[in-house]
Structure 1
Amino acid sequence: MDNSITSLGLMSGTSLDGIDASIINSDGKSHLEVKANDFYQYKSEFRQKLRDYIKNINSLEDIENSISEYKNLEKEITLLHSDISKKIISKQTIEVDLVGFHGQTIIHKPKKKYSIQMGNPNLLSQLIQKKVIFNFRKNDMENNGEGAPLTPVYHSLLSKKIFPNEPSIFLNIGGVSNFTYCNNEELVARDIGPGNVLLDEYLKKTKNIDFDKNGEIASTGQINMDIINQFIEHDIYSSKDRHSYDRNEFDFNFIKGLIFEDAVATLNYFTALIISNYFNENFINCTNIILCGGGRKNKTLIQNLKNLLKKNICDIDKFNYDGDFIESQAFAYLAIRSYFKKNISFPSTTKVSKPISGGETFKNY
């Protein structure tokens, strides 16, 4: 197809589980072919090292004061991105033209006008001998945007293919939950609140396990509605003006004192209630919700959402798109749009002052 190029998207999300990689062919508009998806799982030691570092970063000054550790982690994470890039590219018979490199978010403070994604695009470009598009959030934040979410323009493309004549909501449940509402050319997106982060952090701290597989632990506990009713009105969960969240903003300490299974069940329901309250208040007439992100595999969480929302909630995998790789595909698509100077963020998605492009190109070979 004319003006179509092949792009590799790389995404390491707030769940800190590893690196998603996707290769697509697109013109940055309506044409899309997904060529390949792959995943590199972080070794537990590296994941813990990354988790511990992020937990201690609450400002730019904290990064400056730990710059040696930051640089070591940055090199290590870039090398891991290089490894999976080489692996997935080697299996293709077509040339990969661009790489969309998101990096690992270390701290995201839109109100203070900064967002730090760890990664070295010059080193990655040198190692894989490709043009690398990086710093996707920078131009947005320099134009009064919050720098996130950036995936809505890709969700819009998918929406037109899945529900071409109906409005739909993409619900991405990663560490943080966010949504995109698509209705013809109308595009609205926001972070909603916690996705997996409260559950994952609690499980890691109390039992040293990474997540509740399929929601099995939550399914065995009793939900404590007294605690939920007490904390659901907290500003961070009930504010009408949702902002782009940093994972460190969320704290699970309100369930202290509950037995383990009840705590997990309560956090699970609490997460579902935050999401459903937002949709019931703001999108009562939109019946189609498309699930993506790792949280869609938590059966208890999804059942709670179905009970609370009474909408047509379906997994994106049902439409032959792998829900584990929507964000990495999105950054491949954003790289193409950035390369062609097309807009990637909008006032209705990131609160940026005007529709703008983003992403900087690095070539080091």
Structure 2
Amino acid sequence: MSKPLTAIGLMSGTSLDGIDVALLRTDGEDVVDRGPAATYPYRPGQQAVLHDALTAAKSLETRDARPGILAEAERALTEWHAEAVLQFLDANGLTPPEIDLIGFHGQTVIHRPERRLTVQLGLGPTLARRTGIPVVYDMRAADVAAGGQGAPLVPVYHRALAAAVKARPVAFVNIGGVANMTWIGRNGDLVAFDTGPGNALLNDWCERHTDVPYDRDGMLAGSGNSNESVLGQLLKNNFFATAAPKSLDRNTFQMTVVDALSAADGAATLTRFTACSIALSEKLVPEPPRLYIICGGGRLNPVLIQNLRDLLQVPVMIAEEVGMNGDSMEAEAWAYLAVRCLNGRAITFPGTTGAPRPTSGGVIARP
């Protein structure tokens, strides 16, 4: 058995809202002692850089290429993460020597596993030098190279958390920019996949139609009505007919079909779209979940949560209702995964990414 290590996990998701930082003491197996966590929001100028990087990345053909804005964005992103780590340590009375490892997700700018291509911006060696702490980064690449989807990676951590939950099967649904599900069976079996859009489409819609880049408290969607015709067109996407495991790029779904709707009706339709895509995922698992645990930013949208409760026939609870932290869960997972990578343990499995065999991954950078 490996001894527990103190690790920091860093997550910058497809919602582009900020850097999540979480401290975890773990052996990468059953020991999960959660520590403090924090979010460092991106400023508008930083978000603009990341949006430009997402646009530029659409033309990428190889994972190492960094044309145009991408090289500048990668350097800047790494510096923002270094600043977040140092601020986090200072705020919690910690020093770099007290931290064994950092798990660094970076920023996904393109994810095309069918082309064996996934790119997460982030300079692991630079982060290690800036913080004085070893860094595990680029954790998706090995799985994609082996023929897996490279996502989702959090399921093995969900299984560790699920030890505190009696219901089986149980589903964890993370609603970030893209939504994904982890199904945990009665014997700990894992099935995981992206379910469809999370917050990204709704965030983009709100940014276009309001002065806030997300639907705060679901107020915009709550003032409108879902358009069933438009919703039906959105649900015809071939993605929903694809068997699991499967994963998405943030830009897989387009909003053009929604453009004719009012701001409120468009928000209501996109919110319903996310909920329906999650509900449809029940058909892709061996046995219907007896409990859904919702994490990620989407859990804070009461209209989305009510949509899910209307569509599903079992309890739907947000992470905090079962003693978990829905804001920091993915950052915690990246700390957990970093320890598993360091120990040579698998982080992806045939049932989670479609990889032909359990696969470890990650690159280790030392200061």
With normalisation by structure 2, the TM-score equals: 0.94
Aligned position for 2:282: 279
Is 1:348 the counterpart of 2:351 in the alignment? yes
Return the letter of the residue paired with 1:22: A
Using the TM superposition, name which of 88-97 and 338-347 deviates more. 88-97
- 1:328–1:281 Cα change, 3 Å: closer
Using the TM superposition, name which of 201-210 and 11-20 deviates more. 201-210
Which digits, 9 at most, give the CA deviation of each residue in 1:320-342, with x for residues without a partner?
A: 22101100000000001111111
Aligned position for 2:12: 12
User: Given that residues 110 and 147 in structure 1 are in contact (C-alpha distance below 8 angstroms), is that contact kept between their aligned partners in structure 2?
Assistant: yes
User: Given that residues 173 and 181 in structure 2 are in contact (C-alpha distance below 8 angstroms), is that contact kept between their aligned partners in structure 1?
Assistant: yes
Q: How does 1:18-29 map to 2 (within 5 A)?
A: 18-29=18-29
Tell me the SS of whatever aligns to 1:249: coil
Return the letter of the residue paired with 2:18: G
User: Given that residues 10 and 19 in structure 1 are in contact (C-alpha distance below 8 angstroms), is that contact kept between their aligned partners in structure 2?
Assistant: yes
How far the C-alpha of 1:290 sits from its partner, in A, is: 0.5
Q: 2:196 is matched with which residue: 171, 190, 193?
A: 193
User: Given that residues 140 and 361 in structure 2 are in contact (C-alpha distance below 8 angstroms), is that contact kept between their aligned partners in structure 1?
Assistant: yes
How far the C-alpha of 1:53 sits from its partner, in A, is: 2.5
Is 1:216 the counterpart of 2:224 in the alignment? no
* Partner Cα separation in structure 2 for residue 134 and residue 239 of structure 1: 30
Aligned position for 2:138: 135
Q: 1:326 is matched with which residue: 329, 335, 344?
A: 329
Tell me the SS of whatever aligns to 1:334: helix
Return the letter of the residue paired with 1:14: T
How far the C-alpha of 1:240 sits from its partner, in A, is: 3.6
How far the C-alpha of 1:46 sits from its partner, in A, is: 1.2
How far the C-alpha of 1:61 sits from its partner, in A, is: 4.4
Q: How does 1:59-98 map to 2 (within 5 A)?
A: 59-61=59-61, 67-90=67-90, 91-93=92-94, 95-98=98-101
Aligned position for 1:175: 177
* Partner Cα separation in structure 2 for residue 299 and residue 204 of structure 1: 19
Aligned position for 1:311: 314
Is 1:246 the counterpart of 2:267 in the alignment? no
User: Given that residues 52 and 69 in structure 2 are in contact (C-alpha distance below 8 angstroms), is that contact kept between their aligned partners in structure 1?
Assistant: no
How far the C-alpha of 1:66 sits from its partner, in A, is: 6.1
Return the letter of the residue paired with 2:324: Y
Tell me the SS of whatever aligns to 2:195: strand
- 1:64–1:352 Cα change, 3 Å: closer
Return the letter of the residue paired with 1:174: G
- 1:256–1:244 Cα change, 3 Å: same
User: Given that residues 189 and 348 in structure 1 are in contact (C-alpha distance below 8 angstroms), is that contact kept between their aligned partners in structure 2?
Assistant: yes
How far the C-alpha of 1:57 sits from its partner, in A, is: 2.3
Is 1:293 the counterpart of 2:296 in the alignment? yes
Return the letter of the residue paired with 2:138: N
Percentage of identical aligned residues: 35
Using the TM superposition, name which of 235-244 and 60-69 deviates more. 60-69
* Partner Cα separation in structure 1 for residue 66 and residue 154 of structure 2: 31
- 1:65–1:98 Cα change, 3 Å: closer
Q: Which 5+ residue runs of structure 2 have no aligned equivalent?
A: none
How far the C-alpha of 1:142 sits from its partner, in A, is: 1.8
Return the letter of the residue paired with 1:36: P
Using the TM superposition, name which of 56-65 and 69-78 deviates more. 56-65
* Partner Cα separation in structure 1 for residue 238 and residue 343 of structure 2: 40
User: Given that residues 192 and 242 in structure 1 are in contact (C-alpha distance below 8 angstroms), is that contact kept between their aligned partners in structure 2?
Assistant: no
- 1:62–1:234 Cα change, 3 Å: same
Which digits, 9 at most, give the CA deviation of each residue in 1:65-107, with x for residues without a partner?
A: 8624212111111111001111222324581100000100111
Aligned position for 2:235: 232
Tell me the SS of whatever aligns to 2:222: helix
